[in-house]
Amino acid sequence: MRIFAGRVAEIRLDHLGHTSARITFSGRDEARGIPGPGQYLIAWKPADIEAPLAVPLFPAEICAQGFWAASPVPGNWEPGDEIQFRGPLGHGFRYPARVKVHRLALAALGKNIARLLPLALQALQDNLAVTLFTDSTLPSLPTDLEVYPLSDLSGELGWADFLALDLPADSLPNLRNILGLHPGMRLPCPGQALIFTAMPCGGLAECGACAVSGLHKWRLACQDGPVFDLNELEW
C-alpha cells in the first residue's frame, strides 16, 4: 500500500459552484500518483486533525505535475496545503479486449460529468468519435465532443462501440428504464459504469458501505470497482 504526499496548487469553483482543486506531485510521485480514468485516490490533510475521514478523489483533468480533482473537495483545503494520498485505487475504465472501439458513448446519470472527462479527453486524443449524454450543467468542453440530452441515449446505443457511464449507486435499479431496455434485452455494445457512492474505508476495512448488487454476490465499489462491467451487476 503506497502512501505519498502532494500539494494543493490551486482552488477554484467549478461550473456547478463546487470547490475543485489542482493537485501537484514532485519527483517519482508525479507519474505514480495520477489515477487513470475511473480510478481514485484516498486523500487527507494531516494538519486537519478534526477531519473524521479521508476522502476519495477522482481525476477530472490531467495536467502538468498532477491533476484537477473532481468536485467537491473539502472546503478547508487551501493553496499550499500538504495532502497525503493512498493509491491509486480501484479498477478504472478499460476498453473491451475483443472489440475495436471507434465510437465512444459517455453518459452521466448524476449531476456532474467531471469523472468522465479524463476518458473523453483520452479518447479524443486517440481520434475516437465521442458523444456525451447528460442533463447536467456543462463546463467548457472541446468542440469535437458532441453533447446530447440524456433522453437521446436509448436511441443511440446502436451507434456506440462502447458505453461508459457515471452512475450514482441509487440509480442502478432504474438503469434498464433509462437505457430503454425491456427485461431480458441486452445492450447492443459492451458497457461499463463508474458506480459513484460513499467509500469511507477506501478498501481497508471492507465495511460494506459501498456494496453494490452483483449478479451472484455483493460487490464492493472501493475494491471491485468503482468501474464495473455492466454484465457483472444486477440491474
pLDDT digits (tens, 9 = 90+) for 23-44: 999 887 667 889 999 999 999 9
Q: How high is the pLDDT of residue 86?
A: 95
- Beta-carbon neighbour count of residue 100 at 10 Å? 8
Cell 438503469, located at residue: 175
Do the beta carbons of residue 66 and residue 25 sit within 8 Å?
yes
Q: How high is the pLDDT of residue 74?
A: 93
pLDDT above 70: residue 69? yes
Question: Which domains occur in the chain, in start order?
Answer: 3-89 (2.40.30.10), 103-232 (3.40.50)
pLDDT one-digit tens code per residue, 73-128 = 999 999 999 999 999 999 999 998 888 999 999 999 998 999 999 999 999 999 99
Cell 475511473, located at residue: 38
Q: How high is the pLDDT of residue 1?
A: 59
Q: Which of 115, 96, 118 is nearest to 162 (CA)?
A: 96
Q: How high is the pLDDT of residue 203?
A: 85
pLDDT one-digit tens code per residue, 204-224 = 888 899 999 998 899 999 999
- CA 42 to chain CA centroid, nearest Å: 14
Per the model's pLDDT, the better-predicted residue between 99 and 166 turns out to be 166
Q: How high is the pLDDT of residue 216?
A: 85
pLDDT above 70: residue 3? yes
- Give residues with Cβ within 8 angstroms of 23, minimum separation 6: 6, 7, 8, 9, 57, 66, 67, 68, 69, 83
Q: Is residue 68 very low, low, confident or very high in pLDDT (cuts 50, 70, 90)?
A: very high
Beta bridge partners, 78, equal none
